[in-house]
Structure 1
């Protein structure tokens, strides 16, 4: 797959709320993930750790809806905007919004970075 196909497939899987399949299909074994600076455990590497982080996030809430923009592709990068409407285990409902930037090398995503407002 080229980067445009990878970006499109990622958007498709996230819209279907199947992030585990996205990681398994599209990410390199040594891929890394980066949250905003200061987030505990925000920088991790390795596909198994990325999947575990994603599944732990999903288990902590009920998802009402996910919105994902079409991707913007440039060179070896692409980005998408994501919004999620969730109810957390404590009963609080919130809407989260972020920009997600991905780097692709040799047909696989090798890095993901999430940019969002803190606080």
Structure 2
């Protein structure tokens, strides 16, 4: 798959909230994930670890909606904006926004970086 095809497929799966399928289909087995600096457990690698992190995040929330922008592709990188409207287990409802930056090598995503406000 080309970077454009991977980006389009990730957007499609993200809009359907099918993150496990996205990881299994589009990510390299040694892919890494990077949260904002200072986030506990924010630097991880390995496909199984990325899937477990994503599933644990999903378990703690009730999702009311998700928005995913069209991708911006540049060489081996692409980015998308994502917003998610959720209610946490404690009953707090919030809408989170982030930029997600991905790097592709040899037809698979090798890294993801999430950029969001910390306050």
TM-score normalised per structure 1: 1.00
SS in 1 for 2:30: strand
What pairs up with 1:79-98 in 2 under 5 angstroms? 79-98=79-98
Give structure 2 stretches of 5+ with no counterpart: none
1: distance between equivalents of 2:3 and 2:110? 12
Deviation at 1:94, TM superposition (A): 0.4
Partner residue of 2:108?
108
Task: Output the aligned Cα RMSD.
Answer: 0.3
Question: Structure 1 stretches (4+) deviating beyond 2 angstroms?
Answer: none
TM-score normalised per structure 2: 1.00
Deviation at 1:104, TM superposition (A): 0.0
2: distance between equivalents of 1:76 and 1:42? 23
Partner residue of 1:68?
68
Give structure 1 stretches of 5+ with no counterpart: none
1: distance between equivalents of 2:77 and 2:5? 12
2: distance between equivalents of 1:81 and 1:35? 15
1: distance between equivalents of 2:99 and 2:17? 17
Deviation at 1:108, TM superposition (A): 0.0
SS in 2 for 1:36: coil
SS in 2 for 1:39: coil
Partner residue of 2:55?
55
